[in-house]
Amino acid sequence: MRKRKERFPEVDALRGCAIVMMLVYHTLFDLVFFGNLKMDLFSLFWRGYVTAGASLFVGIAGLSLTLRFNREREGYGTSLFLKYLKRGFLLLVYGAAITIVTYLVFPEAYIRFGVLHCLGASTILAYPFIPRPQLSFFLGLGCIVLGNALSNRSFSFSSLFWLGFKPHNFLTLDYFPLFPWFGVVLLGISLGNLLYPLGKRRFTFPEKPHLLLQGLAFLGRHSLAIYLLHQPAIIAFLLSLGLIRFPP
């Protein structure tokens, strides 16, 4: 018999916090790109802001893989990997749709391996590491170190850009190569096993969280839909206020 899914509001709230950080940054980005707002969104502060928000979002994705594995492995048995494969493939399909849309709108900087591509591939690749938290931890650190080493280099080939080997003059709106971001997923898996062994919370948490946490948790529960729809919604909202306009 399959276990009833139990959600942890603190996990959803952390994911919701990452969503809020994304919404804030992308709203400012649209105001700078399409409007008259003057702001350096590539400054040290904003680069750190983006990295922190992305790390939180991707790390929570890894932690959630652990929770899902621990509460579903008895019910699904050997077919559980197929569930992860289906989930990963679905995220890759969504990522491919974003690639197509951004190619039509921004052909010079379309998204080739963004966060959904990364999470789709990571969901599949992470499966054998979920019950191995120590291996996940050290392999995750290795992926991050390698990714940081690759981040300041470019290469004459383009076939491995999804790993982090950026070709010369590579330009994209969103880039989450497996090195280092698969490492962040693995660290999330390790943390999930530490904080939620066998899918059970090992610390106390209020039965009725604060209203703010409930709101963040709501956003976190609907993070995929928000991610897919937020940019059109933000642009439509800013257009309705007359804060941005498209170039003729």
* Sign, Cα dihedral of 184, 151, 149, 47: negative
Instruction: Quote the pLDDT of residue 50.
Output: 97
Summarize pLDDT for 95-126 with one digit per residue, the tens: 999 999 999 999 999 999 999 999 999 999 99
Give domain status of residue 118, yes or no. Answer: yes
pTM score: 0.93
Letter string b/e over residues 157-189, b meaning 16 or more CB atoms within 10 A of that residue's CB:
eeeebbbbbbeeeeebbbbbbbbbbbbbbbbbb
The number of domains in the chain is 1
Give domain status of residue 142, yes or no. Answer: yes
Give domain status of residue 80, yes or no. Answer: no
Give domain status of residue 123, yes or no. Answer: yes
Give domain status of residue 50, yes or no. Answer: no
Give domain status of residue 225, yes or no. Answer: no
Q: In the chain, count H helices and then E strands.
A: 8, 0
What's the mean pLDDT when you consider all of the chain? 93
Average confidence (pLDDT) over 23-41? 94
The residue segments making up the domain with residue 135 are 86-200
* 3-class secondary-structure state, position 155: strand
Give domain status of residue 113, yes or no. Answer: yes
Give domain status of residue 117, yes or no. Answer: yes
Summarize pLDDT for 196-210 with one digit per residue, the tens: 998 889 988 887 888
